[in-house]
C-alpha cells in the first residue's frame, strides 16, 4: 500500500504494508537510519520520533496510522542552516553521548520538551527523558546538556 506522510518537513510516499512498524518503514524504505531499534517493545525509547510534534516510540506505531501526519526524526532536528542545533551541540560539548544508541531518542524527547517548555526544571527534564534508557552516561550529563541548551536558547532569544 502507498503511504503518504510528511517526514522532516518533506512530503514522502512510501510503499509498505500498513501494519508495518513505523520504525521499520523509516529505517528501511525511507533510509532514515538515525532512528535506532533498541528493545522493540516500547521500553527503551531509542526509536523515539515526533508524531505531530509529540514523542512516540516508532516501534509501537503502525506506519498506516501516520498517513497524512507529520513526523520528525533525529535527522530533522538540525538548525535551518543544516548545522547542529543548540541541543545537539550541547550533547556534544557536555558529554551527553557515549555509545550513541540512545542519543537519537534522547534528542527527540528533549527537543519535544524544549519546544513545549523553554525553561524546564531538572525534574521536568528527567520526566521528559524517563522513557529513554541509557546504559552509559548515568543520565547526569544528558540532563546537564538539556538544561544547558535551554539556557543558551533562552539567552539567545533574550539577546534579540
Partner 1 sequence: MLESTAKRPRVAHAPAGLEATELVRPKTAVDAVKALAEAAANQRSAMVLAGGTDVIVDRHLLSVERAHTVDLVVDVTGIEGFRTIAREFSVDRERLVFAGGVTYWDLRQDPLVLQKIPMLAEMSKDVGAVQIQTRGTLAGNIATASPAADGVAALMALDANVHLLSAPMAGGSAKGEERVVPLREFFTGYRKTAMCPDELIVRIDVRVPDPATASVIWRKVGTRLAQSISKVALASVLEVQDGTVRHARFGMASVAATTHPLSQVQSYLEGRAIAAVNAAEVDEALARDIRPIDDVRSTGEYRMHVARSLVRGVVRRALTQAK
Residues near partner 1 (CB under 8 A) are 1, 16-21, 24-25, 27-29, 31-34, 40-43, 45, 48, 51, 54-57, 59-65, 67, 75, 109, 112, 127-128, 130-133
User: Is the CB of residue 16 less than 8 Å from the CB of residue 1?
Assistant: yes
User: Is the CB of residue 78 less than 8 Å from the CB of residue 86?
Assistant: no
* CB of 10 or CB of 159, closer to partner 1: 10
Min dist. Cβ of residue 15 to partner 1 (A): 8
Min dist. Cβ of residue 52 to partner 1 (A): 10
62 φ, ψ to 5°? -80, 135
Contacts of 2 (CB under 8 A, 6+ apart): 13, 14, 15
Amino acid at each position: 500500500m502507498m503511504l503518504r506522510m510528511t517526514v522532516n518537513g518533506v512530503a514522502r510516499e512510501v510503499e509498505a504494508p500498513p501494519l508495518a512498524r513505523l520504525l521499520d518503514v523509516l529505517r528501511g524504505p525511507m533510509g532514515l537510519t538515525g532512528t535506532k531499534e533498541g528493545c522493540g517493545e516500547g521500553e527503551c525509547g531509542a526509536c523515539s520520533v515526533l508524531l505531530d510534534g509529540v514523542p512516540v516510540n516508532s516501534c509501537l506505531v503502525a506506519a498506516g496510522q501516520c498517513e497524512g501526519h507529520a513526523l520528525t526524526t533525529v535527522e530533522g532536528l538540525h538548525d535551518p542552516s543544516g548545522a547542529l542545533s543548540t541541543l545537539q551541540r550541547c550533547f556534544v560539548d557536555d558529554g551527553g553521548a557515549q555509545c550513541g544508541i540512545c542519543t537519537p531518542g534522547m534528542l527527540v524527547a528533549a527537543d519535544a520538551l524544549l519546544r513545549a517548555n523553554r525553561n524546564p526544571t531538572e525534574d521536568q527534564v528527567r520526566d521528559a527523558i524517563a522513557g529513554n534508557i541509557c546504559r552509559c552516561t548515568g543520565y547526569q550529563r544528558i540532563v546537564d546538556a538539556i538544561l544547558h541548551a535551554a539556557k543558551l536558547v533562552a539567552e539567545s532569544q533574550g539577546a534579540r
